[in-house]
Structure 1
Amino acid sequence: MAIGDAITGGCACGAVRWRAVDRGFRPYACHCKGCQTRQGSAFALNQQVLVTDLATEGAAIEGTCTGSHGATVTHVACRSCMTRLYTINHERPEIATIRTGTRDDSPDLVPAFHVWTSRKQPWIALPDDVPQLETQPSTREGWMALVLPA
């Protein structure tokens, strides 16, 4: 897949579909307690897209919470099956964070880095050659430097 290509995905029941432009944002694994709890798993696999490049079809619902770094985060999910599709962090409102497990090509994705490793489950072994951050960058600039392509 090349930068500028379309990426697509949707919920488990098929009631909501999304489409975005791949701008080269790197997929990553988040091991924070919030992702563990809201995903019902050991971590979340995420990737950013520009909100202006993201289109959804179908009935979705929204809810907000406070994220691990203290920011307000809006979660968007399918109204029917409750699959979490993406979030918008209010500190970076121009960027949506899609749950890459909802991508049609999700088996092809590998995390480029891991954040919140200080909270990862102890039985998870991370590859030594992939960057690992104990928390996450504290500034918008630091975050964008991490997720944007090199």
Structure 2
Amino acid sequence: MNTITGGCRCGQVRYVLTVDKLPRSYACHCLDCQTWTGVAFSQSCVFPGDVLSVSGDVAIYELAGSAGRVSRQRICPTCHTRVYNTNTGHRFTVLRAGTLDRSDELDCVAHMWTRRKQAWIALPPDIPTWHEGPGSFDELARALGLTR
């Protein structure tokens, strides 16, 4: 197993992923992600939670979704970088791709909520896209090469 590292902007929160390789990422173009990040989309990686080891204190912000699922966002309490989240709807951890030390090496292999994407963004024709969210988390997991 390799270790892949990352953390928040100020360095108070650091993490180690114990995985075979750098995870694949996806982009979400929904209005919530645009508002939360202040940019055109968010880029995230998904993996089983037991491969993540975090050092440093995190603040937790809970967000209830329309389907009754609760997203627990982990944020650095100093610089307010949103680092990762979990969701009661699945057993995976969602990591903010830009917090990886090697984020420049990531492969973005899927796009969701493309009906909200900015018009100037051109998506590659050969990767999975969803007009809104995937029909199930399993669809996204397959696109990312995860097994459930």
Aligned match for 2:69, one of 57, 71, 78: 71
Separation (CA, whole Å) in 2 of partners of 1:76 and 1:123: 31
Deviation at 1:38, TM superposition (A): 1.2
Aligned residues: 146
1:136 aligns with 2:113: no
What SS does the aligned partner of 1:132 have? coil
Contact 2:40 2:117 (C-alpha < 8 Å) held by counterparts: yes
The residue correspondences of 1:139-150 to structure 2 (distance < 5 A) are: 139-149=136-146
Contact 1:23 1:49 (C-alpha < 8 Å) held by counterparts: no
| Structure 2 CA distance for partners of 1:75 and 1:35, relative to 1, 3 Å | same
Structure 1 residue ranges (4+ consecutive) displaced by more than 4 angstroms after TM superposition: 67-70
Contact 1:22 1:49 (C-alpha < 8 Å) held by counterparts: no
TM-score w.r.t. the length of structure 1 is 0.86
Percent of aligned positions that are identical: 36
Gaps of at least 5 residues in structure 2 are none
TM-score w.r.t. the length of structure 2 is 0.87
1:40 aligns with 2:33: no
What SS does the aligned partner of 2:128 have? coil
Amino acid at match of 2:85: T
The residue correspondences of 1:91-106 to structure 2 (distance < 5 A) are: 91-92=89-90, 94-106=91-103
Contact 1:34 1:68 (C-alpha < 8 Å) held by counterparts: no
Q: What CA deviation, in whole Å up to 9, does each residue of 1:19-49 have, x standing for no partner? A: 1123665211111111111111111110012
Separation (CA, whole Å) in 1 of partners of 2:67 and 2:43: 17
Q: What CA deviation, in whole Å up to 9, does each residue of 1:57-98 have, x standing for no partner? A: 011100011358763211101010000001112101x21100
Deviation at 1:139, TM superposition (A): 2.3
Separation (CA, whole Å) in 2 of partners of 1:41 and 1:104: 20
